[in-house]
Amino acid sequence: MTRVIEPQPKILEIALYQGGQSKIAGMDNTIKLSSNENPFGTPDSAKTAFSKASHQLHRYPNTDHSALRQAIGDVHGLNPQQIICGVGSDEIITFLCQAYAGVGDEVIHTEHGFAMYRISTLAAGATPICVPERERVVDVDAILSACTDKTKLVFVANPANPTGTMIGQREVSRLADGLPPQAILVLDGAYAEYVEAFDGGAALIETRDNVVMTRTFSKMYGLGGTRIGWGYGPQEIIDTLNRVRGPFNLSEPQLAAAEAAVKDRDWVEKCREDNTRLRAWLAEALMEHGVPSDTSCANFILARFIDDAEAESCDEFLKSNGILVRRVAGYGLPNCLRITVGDEASCRRVAHVIGQFLEQSR
Ligand SMILES: *Cc1c(COP(=O)(O)O)cnc(C)c1O
């Protein structure tokens, strides 16, 4: 018998996600600035809640996440019924693609957009459509003109990764209002906490039935290792996503840690302030070395080098000095390096080493 075992069409078009490097062979004290993690780690409140939950590991977890949804709702002023929790915001992205996009449908992401949009689109059998940005900023008109009667989802991260740029609420509204009737706008707010007084787009959802927001505990809340995120949207869409969500997708320690973290408002304040200050310092220090970056609204900056070769050798030089940053050639930015804003010592160190590199190379 000749077997004809084949995966679903499009699955083999998926290029494996490349995470930020975390180790350099033969080096112990590396500075990791490659994955936009919180340099201050996880809040103690969340660690305590996580360990406490470990006493009940033999029990199945709660399936409706009501306590966490209530806590998120209280903190952000949102209706808990319209919140869904997932294994990172990545899982919410997966649910959206699975529930709304299939073979023959189109899903829009932008030129330098986050890799998971394309991956989840292909996994659902749908067709990813890549729309150009304007100077590393999401271009609403370009997105609107790329829409067709097959467009089901439009993914925009605001602030965006890896560019760090943002578009204003007026532009976001114009995008939502200009979409064809069958399309959903997904606002990925992974970095929303870093923007003071920004709701990630939540207010838009109150008055529209075609916008969903995703959020994560992986960045500001320092819980990337435990994988938890959430989505907020119109009731009908959230109810639909809950049908494809596995009943036990989150464990009790995950739920407990996230609930404690979201209630820890002092943590958010402190981390945002430190990030804003150190981000400005880092951008300025690199500028003084002749390395510009766009004004970033997130917890990283995108440093632009003269060309691809310079970015690559600078990355190698940083590695040989025990510093890991992120090459973003796969995001159409081969002359750039994405550098997470670390603590003060790491910021000073990365700026110093880049300065050394340029002194000997330019
Ligand atoms: C880091 C990041 C996420 C978060 O993913 P999780 O699955 O929640 O860890 C989502 N979107 C963007 C643009 C990101 O950079």
C-beta of 299 in contact with ligand 1 (< 6 A): no
Residues whose CB is less than 8 angstroms from the CB of residue 320 and which lie 6 or more positions away in sequence, other chains included: none
Nearest atom within ligand 1 for CA of residue 219? 1
Residues 24 and 106 placed together within one structural domain of the fold:
no
pLDDT tens-digit readout, 57-76 = 999 999 999 999 999 999 99
CA angle 149, 150, 151 (to 5 degrees): 95
In a domain, 333, yes or no: yes
Q: Which of 163, 216, 302, 328 to probe ligand 1 with, by most ligand atoms within 8 A of CB?
A: 216
Out of 216, 237, 263, a domain closes at 263
pLDDT tens-digit readout, 202-246 = 999 999 999 999 999 999 999 999 999 999 999 999 999 999 999
- Per-residue pLDDT for 17 more than 90? no
Residues 172 and 74 placed together within one structural domain of the fold:
yes
Residue range 10-35: average pLDDT?
88
Contacts of residues 14-20 at CB distance under 8 Å and 24 or more positions apart, as own/partner, are 14/118, 14/119, 14/122, 14/123, 15/119, 15/330, 17/115, 17/116, 17/119, 18/115, 18/330, 20/324, 20/326
Residues 216 and 276 placed together within one structural domain of the fold:
no
Nearest CA to 80 out of 263, 212, 250, 230 is that of: 230
Which residues on neighbouring strands pair with residue 184, listed in sequence order? 153
- Which tokens sit at 329? 């050639």
Residues 23 and 125 placed together within one structural domain of the fold:
no
Q: Residue 309: which domain range?
A: 19-41+266-361
pLDDT of 252 reads 97
- Which tokens sit at 56? 């009940």
Average pLDDT, the chain: 97
Task: Please report the beta strands in the chain, taking only residues with DSSP state E, as ranges in sequence order.
Answer: 31-32, 83-86, 106-110, 127-131, 151-157, 184-188, 211-216, 229-232, 300-304, 323-324, 326-327, 336-340
Q: What percent of the chain has pLDDT over 90?
A: 95
In a domain, 8, yes or no: no
Out of 245, 263, 281, a domain closes at 263
Nearest atom within ligand 1 for CA of residue 90? 7
C-beta of 157 in contact with ligand 1 (< 6 A): yes
CA of 218 to the centre of ligand 1 (A): 7
The pTM (predicted TM-score) of the whole model is: 0.97
CATH number at residue 356: 3.90.1150.10
CA distance linking residue 205 with residue 36, whole number of Å? 27
In the chain, how many H helices and how many E strands?
Answer: 12, 12
**pLDDT bracket for residue 25 (50, 70, 90):** confident
pLDDT tens-digit readout, 109-129 = 999 999 999 999 999 999 999
Out of 232, 263, 294, a domain closes at 263
In a domain, 13, yes or no: no
In a domain, 14, yes or no: no
- Which tokens sit at 331? 């995001």
Residues 233 and 270 placed together within one structural domain of the fold:
no
Which residues on neighbouring strands pair with residue 101, listed in sequence order? none
How many domains, in total, are found in the chain?
2
CA of 172 to the centre of ligand 1 (A): 19
Residues 235 and 251 placed together within one structural domain of the fold:
yes
Nearest atom within ligand 1 for CA of residue 228? 8
Can you say whether the dihedral through the CA atoms of 339, 329, 293, 194 is positive or negative? Answer: negative
Question: Which residue has 């449908």 as its token pair?
Answer: 105
In a domain, 179, yes or no: yes
Which residues on neighbouring strands pair with residue 107, listed in sequence order? 128, 153
250, amino acid identity: L
